[in-house]
Chains A and B, each alone.
Chain A
Amino acid sequence: DIQLTQSPSSLSASVGDRVTITCRASQGISTSVAWFQQKPGKGPKSLIYGASSLQSGVPSKFSGSGSGTHFTLTISSLQPEDFATYYCLQYNSYPFTFGPGTKVDIK
């Protein structure tokens, strides 16, 4: 199975900060990575697919990049509604696997 790691596991940031989250795969997975945002008590929300394609309706402050084994999610200017937990997912092969998550909270 393909393992995903995320770093950092948590971070504290201020409104307006630029935030970058990293996801690394245990083997090459091309660009078969998606990113999700989850707020407490809610289901996940899809942000990015294909490593860098923005899901419909998602604001352009979110961006993704990477290929192979190294991927990043960037939030260009953090807003209060962005404080949440973020997960990467690999869908290159079954079983799909999620990263352990990165919690973004307010400094």
Chain B
Amino acid sequence: QVQLVESGGGVVQPGRSLRLSCAGSGFTLSSFLMHWVRQAPGKGLEWVAVISSDGSNKNYADSVMGRFTISRDNSKNTLYLQVNSLRPEDTAVYYCTRGGLDFWGPGTLVSVSS
């Protein structure tokens, strides 16, 4: 069955960086667009970024443009999100989701605090 599992979250100080990973199984990741979506504690869902199946095209939310980078390694069936210059407002559960947003991982929590 299709599974997505995020990892790499944690508690970090403002201005620091993290790399989030999303491991896919049960399907061929290289055939799909992939997205990152986040949810701040007690808040709604916010779309963050998307990457094309071959990694050649990317789009970002204005709130993360220039600080976050989405990438993928199809040979490893893995999606990444490099998050730099973290701010307290980036505190959220980060979800990866497949192209049609049909399958979601359980999320990984990023907490930005001094």
Contact = CB atoms under 8 A, between A and B. Distances in A.
A44 B35 CA distance: 13
B31 interface: no
Contacts of B59: 94-95
Contacts, number: 52
B45 A87 contact: yes
A interface: dominant SS: loop
Interface string A27-61: 00000001010100011111001000001100000
B61 to A, nearest CB: 5
A104 interface: no
A59 to B, nearest CB: 16
B73 interface: no
Contacts of B106: 42-43
Interface residues of A, number: 23
Chain B CB within 10 Å, residue with most, of A46, A55, A89, A99: A46
Size category of the B interface is 20 to 34
Contact of A94 (B37, B50, B103, B105): B50
A105 B16 CA distance: 39
B91 to A, nearest CB: 17
B44 A89 contact: no
8 contacts: A34-B101, A38-B45, A43-B104, A43-B107, A89-B101, A95-B61, A97-B47, A100-B44
Contacts of A96: 35, 47, 50
B26 interface: no
A96 B45 CA distance: 11
Nearest to B58: A94
A99 B43 CA distance: 11
A8 B4 CA distance: 32
Given A95-B61, A100-B44, A101-B44, A45 B50 contact: no
Nearest to B64: A95
Given A43-B95, A43-B107, A44-B95, A98 B100 contact: no
